[in-house]
Chains A and B, each alone.
Chain A
Amino acid sequence: MTELKPDELLAKIDRNPPASGWMDTPIEIRKGIYCYAANPKSVEYLGLPNARKWNPLEKDWKLPENWQEIIHNGFKERLEKFRTFKIFMDICVRCGACADKCHFFIGTGDPKNMPVLRAELLRSVYRNDFTTFGKILGKVGGARKMTLDVLKEWWYYFFQCTECRRCSVFCPYGIDTAEITIMGRELLNLIGLNIDWIATPVANCYRTGNHLGIQPHAFKDMLDFFVEDIEEVTGVQLEPQYNKKGADILFVTPSGDVFADPGTYTCMGYMMLFHYLKEKYGLDVTWSTYASEGGNFGFFTSHETMKRLNSKMYAEAKRLGVKWILGGECGHMWRVVHQYMDTMNGPADFMEEPVSPITGTKFENAKSTKMVHIAEFTADLIKHNKLELDVTRNDHLKVTYHDSCNPARGMGLLDEPRYVINNVCNNFYEMPANTIREQTFCCGSGAGLNAGENIELRMAGGLPRANAVKYVHEKHGVNMLACICAIDRAAFPALMEYWVPEVDVIGLHELVANALIMPGESKRTTDLRGEPLLGMEDEADE
């Protein structure tokens, strides 16, 4: 945890820009803000450029000799390949509407965290290299040459953006800083400038199928542990299926849910739901150890790396011969699945258009990609009364809901999870309107920034979200923050502990599983975490 106390962090926020212009204000790479450089082994395993040991705090970043040329050519290539990039370089009028929309700017006051200025870091070089006016006017025209200092500034600030797209909602031209950061990071990757929190999960995922490097047998062991835990709480014995050919549905979720609390309880929630559906309706769902990662840190590396990791989902669906794919709760995973997967690795013509065999609902919105979000799937089940639920088993919780950035602004999955929450628990309170739905605030740790060494940045970036949680905590006694993202579940416990220690974090399907009446279950006295249900405090102790 950062050494700064919450009060000190708040006191540090100074929104007055420095007296010197931003091009003349050198950066200082600060502990608590930056992430460690990538482990050369990971970079090498992936075959990405310039694998070597380097340290951002040292003067020499051990760059290839012609790094400027590589960046220039990479820039040029991307301007041709991505209309977004070219247009976003050209049309910003610097109206400043985006400035105070970024959680990192709100939490740090650093002017280079204003989305417009983050983009200007690239635009200044673009003007110099690719526009006539920039070449003639130089600095007065907002142009500057690509120097080592500029490069370091890029690296520092493109790893202070979580690609959450909140600024893009407010931009009158839809300029999307996520897109800018994606391009910035792609360029940096061309000369071997990545961070370890991204590169190593990517390498793990490439080899073992998931970010955490969990090997197949260990993956099964972990789920088997959950089977034991679930039996303890419900008395029901589950039999999850792995790599099963001919199953109806392949289920893919982020490996974070298999690995760490409180995501593990969400994972148990999925397992209980699938067991319930198998017992009641004969639904055949399989997990895969090969495609055991929904998340895709390749997305934070380059489009190419994203495609390499994502390819496993369709490959595994094809090998197993499933009808369609069901996806678990995850943020950026859904951005990739919803907006990229079919384009990159499709067409998925070896599968069927997704239909819920239980309700007969056709998921028309997923008929090409053939992947359905579990919130859509479960909302449909509840709507058709296919789940037996005891809502009172969540009565000990007062819940608020955090819209994850990517499902909110890269998909529009807003009301499905709310419908589910409202049907599985009695106490639900929304956070203020400017902090939810398409205006939701990032957890501060997305896009690969969920490391330990940048904790000050994460706590600062998470401030707007935490502040809104604090508001409903004080107003309504909210004690549980629900979410549909594995990064959220990994990042929020620390954020809450820092800003609103009374609030805990929960996944949507943990709430569902608490309420779900399993066939043949024994009387439940605790929730999945072993916490006593309301009115069951005495029985739970026994």
Chain B
Amino acid sequence: MNVKYMFPLAAVVVLMLLSYVGAEAGGLSALFGIVIPYLAVIIFIAGFARRILDWSNSSVPFRIPTTCGQQKSLPWIKQNKIDNPSSLGGVILRMFFEVCCFRSLFRNTKNELYNGSHLTYSWEIWLWVAALAFHYAFLVVVVRHLRFFLEPVPACVKLIEFFDGFFHIEFVDSIIQIGLPGIMISGIVLLAAVIFLFLRRILIPQVNYISLAADYFPLFLIMGIACSGIFMRYFTKVDVIGIKEFTMGLVTFHPVIPEGIGGVFYIHLFLVSVLLAYFPFSKLMHAGGIFLSPTRNLANNTRAVRHINPWNYDVPVHTYEEYEDDFREKMIEAGLPVEKELK
């Protein structure tokens, strides 16, 4: 038994039971439906902001971007303006590709020792694919859920829903014949990507070795969220009208608990709340940190534009005068020019 993933798994199971039993049998639906979600959102916003402020309060004494391409030097040498930007525009492009396309992860290679003597490098795309699939599927799912928080539902949300549901209708229906009104591909991709990321942690020995409980916990949490969501949508066919009534109540600050929305919904909502509240205290803050990472968000123009270190201070140095005092005789003998002649 590996405590690193058993502990977070148990934690997520307990959280699920807690919310299910609490809301269904314990009569705590107001707690799980209203108090905790509000609290979670407050913790998320305040915690996120605090973390960003905390990072911003640390200085950036040196401009040390990691350069991943040709620098700007002589006019006839072609600069790599994205991977080695020298201007703000270049930095913005670099950050755009980093944040939206995971450019650095895209470079990933796999190294192997072949025949015990030859090192080989191959392009390792799957982590990038899974990471991209995971993040974008999550984004689509979140955007889709805006339908519950906005009235009337904006056209862009409807559009995304349309495309999200569009790809599979014929594909899935003709093969498996589930015959549901619409399967949202984003939910399936999200779950599949999370499972891939989890299996990677279990199966690749090095990744397994470095993984902490804090790496498994959010994976289980998101699995729980995705599963409960899928379960409600396709199996229990939850009362969507009732839920919308409830969520609109939350957004308009007139919360009400409607009848009969079911225990699974509370599991879903509670896990989302936990994820939100956990976010600012965890590695999930990479979402904010990536924007502040000094090796990526600074231009490589240190020799052209002086960077200022706010805490730069004077240090003891060995001056030329001290040096010459130390070696004057030998310098004169060797014919080296000196500032002061021998007395």
A residues neighboring B (CB under 8 Å): 7, 10-11, 13, 15-17, 21-22, 47, 79-87, 90-97, 99-101, 106, 111, 114, 116-117, 120, 131-133, 137, 140-142, 165, 168-176, 179, 206-209, 215-217, 220-221, 242-245, 289-290, 303-304, 307-308, 311-312, 315-316, 319, 337-340, 342-344, 346-347, 361, 363-369, 371, 376, 379-380, 383, 408-416, 419, 432, 434-435, 437-439, 463-464, 467-468, 471
What B residues does A10 contact at CB under 8 A? 113, 116-117
Beta-carbon contact of A220 and B334 below 8 Å? yes
Which of chain B's residues has its CB closest to A337's CB? Answer: B303
18 pairs, CB–CB < 8 Å, chain A vs chain B: A15-B113, A17-B205, A84-B60, A84-B293, A117-B210, A133-B282, A140-B7, A217-B327, A217-B334, A308-B315, A338-B302, A343-B62, A344-B312, A347-B306, A365-B303, A368-B304, A411-B300, A434-B109
Q: Which of B97-105, B229-237, B245-253 contacts A (4 or more CB under 8 A)?
A: B97-105
Contact for B119 among A315, A437, A463, CB less than 8 A: A463
Contact for A111 among B7, B118, B209, CB less than 8 A: B209
Contact for A220 among B80, B108, B306, B336, CB less than 8 A: B336
Instruction: Scan B271-285; emit 1 where CB is below 8 A from any A CB, else 0.
Output: 000000000011101
CA distance A247 to B92 in the complex (A): 42
Beta-carbon contact of B59 and A83 below 8 Å? yes
Beta-carbon contact of A100 and B110 below 8 Å? yes
Beta-carbon contact of B57 and A80 below 8 Å? yes
Beta-carbon contact of A379 and B74 below 8 Å? yes
Q: Do A343 and B63 form a contact, CB below 8 Å, given A114-B206, A142-B213, A243-B336?
A: yes
Beta-carbon contact of B309 and A344 below 8 Å? yes
Q: Is the interface of A mostly helix, strand, loop or mixed?
A: helix
* Closest-CB distance, A399 to chain B (whole angstroms): 20
CA distance A243 to B312 in the complex (A): 29
Beta-carbon contact of A365 and B63 below 8 Å? no
Contact for A81 among B59, B107, B303, B334, CB less than 8 A: B59
* Closest-CB distance, A135 to chain B (whole angstroms): 12
Interface residue? B163 (CB, 8 A): no
Q: Do A81 and B311 form a contact, CB below 8 Å, given A315-B319, A438-B67?
A: yes
CA distance A132 to B307 in the complex (A): 34
Which of chain B's residues has its CB closest to A354's CB? Answer: B303
Which of chain A's residues has its CB closest to B309's CB? Answer: A343
What A residues does B61 contact at CB under 8 A? 81-82, 303, 343
B residues neighboring A (CB under 8 Å): 3-4, 7, 51, 54-64, 66-74, 76-78, 80, 83-84, 86, 98, 102, 104-105, 107-111, 113, 116-119, 121, 127, 131, 200, 204-215, 281-283, 285-286, 289-290, 292-296, 300-309, 311-312, 315-320, 323-324, 326-327, 330-331, 333-337
Which of chain B's residues has its CB closest to A209's CB? Answer: B323
A-B contact count (CB 8 A): 322
Q: Do A47 and B316 form a contact, CB below 8 Å, given A221-B334, A414-B70?
A: yes
What B residues does A339 contact at CB under 8 A? 62-64, 302
Q: Do A342 and B307 form a contact, CB below 8 Å, given A10-B116, A100-B111?
A: yes
What B residues does A467 contact at CB under 8 A? 118-119
* Closest-CB distance, A462 to chain B (whole angstroms): 12
Contact for A413 among B59, B71, B86, B312, CB less than 8 A: B71
Beta-carbon contact of A416 and B303 below 8 Å? no
Q: A81-B59, A172-B105, A463-B119 are in contact. List 15 more A-B contacts (CB 8 A).
A: A81-B61, A83-B55, A84-B60, A84-B64, A90-B285, A94-B283, A97-B105, A114-B206, A140-B7, A173-B289, A173-B290, A176-B64, A207-B323, A209-B323, A410-B64
Contact for B121 among A206, A364, A408, A434, CB less than 8 A: A434
Beta-carbon contact of A316 and B119 below 8 Å? no
CA distance A208 to B290 in the complex (A): 43
* Closest-CB distance, A86 to chain B (whole angstroms): 5
What A residues does B200 contact at CB under 8 A? 96
What B residues does A343 contact at CB under 8 A? 61-63, 302, 306-309, 312
Beta-carbon contact of B289 and A346 below 8 Å? no
Contact for B209 among A22, A87, A141, CB less than 8 A: A22
**A-B pairs with lowest CB-CB distance, top 4:** A412-B71, A217-B334, A91-B289, A174-B295
Beta-carbon contact of A94 and B63 below 8 Å? no
Beta-carbon contact of A215 and B68 below 8 Å? no
Beta-carbon contact of B315 and A169 below 8 Å? no
**Most chain B CB inside 10 Å of its own CB: which residue of A16, A93, A141, A383:** A93
What A residues does B107 contact at CB under 8 A? 169-170, 439
* Closest-CB distance, A58 to chain B (whole angstroms): 30
CA distance A97 to B206 in the complex (A): 10
What A residues does B76 contact at CB under 8 A? 383
**Most chain B CB inside 10 Å of its own CB: which residue of A92, A172, A343, A380:** A172
* Closest-CB distance, A446 to chain B (whole angstroms): 16
Beta-carbon contact of A87 and B207 below 8 Å? no
What B residues does A133 contact at CB under 8 A? 214, 281-282
What B residues does A131 contact at CB under 8 A? 281
What A residues does B303 contact at CB under 8 A? 337-338, 342, 365-369, 371
What A residues does B304 contact at CB under 8 A? 364-369
CA distance A334 to B158 in the complex (A): 55
What B residues does A83 contact at CB under 8 A? 55-56, 58-60, 292, 294
Q: Do A142 and B66 form a contact, CB below 8 Å, given A93-B286, A132-B281, A343-B309?
A: no
CA distance A391 to B73 in the complex (A): 25
Q: Do A410 and B294 form a contact, CB below 8 Å, given A100-B110, A141-B213, A216-B330?
A: no
CA distance A315 to B315 in the complex (A): 14
Which of chain B's residues has its CB closest to A93's CB? Answer: B283
* Closest-CB distance, A365 to chain B (whole angstroms): 5
Beta-carbon contact of A111 and B327 below 8 Å? no
Q: Do A170 and B286 form a contact, CB below 8 Å, given A217-B334, A243-B337, A308-B315?
A: no
What B residues does A165 contact at CB under 8 A? 66
CA distance A114 to B78 in the complex (A): 34
Q: Do A438 and B69 form a contact, CB below 8 Å, given A169-B104, A383-B76?
A: yes
Q: Do A307 and B315 form a contact, CB below 8 Å, given A376-B74, A432-B121?
A: yes
Beta-carbon contact of B206 and A99 below 8 Å? yes
Beta-carbon contact of A140 and B285 below 8 Å? no
CA distance A27 to B121 in the complex (A): 30
What A residues does B312 contact at CB under 8 A? 343-344
Beta-carbon contact of B336 and A411 below 8 Å? no
Beta-carbon contact of B300 and A412 below 8 Å? yes
CA distance A284 to B239 in the complex (A): 86
Contact for A416 among B77, B292, B317, CB less than 8 A: B77
Beta-carbon contact of B205 and A16 below 8 Å? yes
CA distance A244 to B205 in the complex (A): 60
CA distance A90 to B293 in the complex (A): 11
* Closest-CB distance, A221 to chain B (whole angstroms): 7
* Closest-CB distance, B319 to chain A (whole angstroms): 7
Q: Do A438 and B317 form a contact, CB below 8 Å, given A170-B107, A367-B304?
A: no
* Closest-CB distance, B343 to chain A (whole angstroms): 19
